Amino acid sequence: MPYRGETSNGSQGTPSEAARCEHDALVLAINPDTKYCYARCLRCLFRGPERPSGEAARKALLVLGARG
């Protein structure tokens, strides 16, 4: 299940784009199939992995962005 840089049209962004972003414009979404949350940065469109709670999804995106 890809999540790094996935955009609304299904194309993949580059990890370097996400690495330059502070991910300070986050939105949380819920996958209706799994009922898990994921966070997406509205600036670079970087999408984090699905997590059972919104807070866990936000933290996962920020950790991945810091490592990117």
Residue 3 lies in a domain: no
User: Average pLDDT of each block of 10 consecutive residues along the chain (68 residues)?
Assistant: 46 53 91 95 93 95 75
Residue 30 lies in a domain: yes
Q: State the chain's maximal CA–CA distance in angstroms.
A: 31
Determine the pLDDT at residue 18.
54
For 38, the domain range is 15-67
Residue 1 lies in a domain: no
Residue 58 lies in a domain: yes
Q: What φ, ψ does residue 67 adopt, rounded to 5°?
A: -85, -25
Determine the pLDDT at residue 23.
87
Do the Cβ atoms of 35 and 49 come closer than 8 Å? no
Q: What is the three-class DSSP state of 61?
A: helix
Residue 57 lies in a domain: yes
Residue 4 lies in a domain: no
Q: What pTM does this model have?
A: 0.66
Do the Cβ atoms of 25 and 49 come closer than 8 Å? no
Residue 8 lies in a domain: no
Total domains in the chain come to: 1
Please count the CA atoms within 13 angstroms of the CA of 65 that sit on its side-chain side: 25
Determine the pLDDT at residue 33.
96
Determine the pLDDT at residue 64.
80
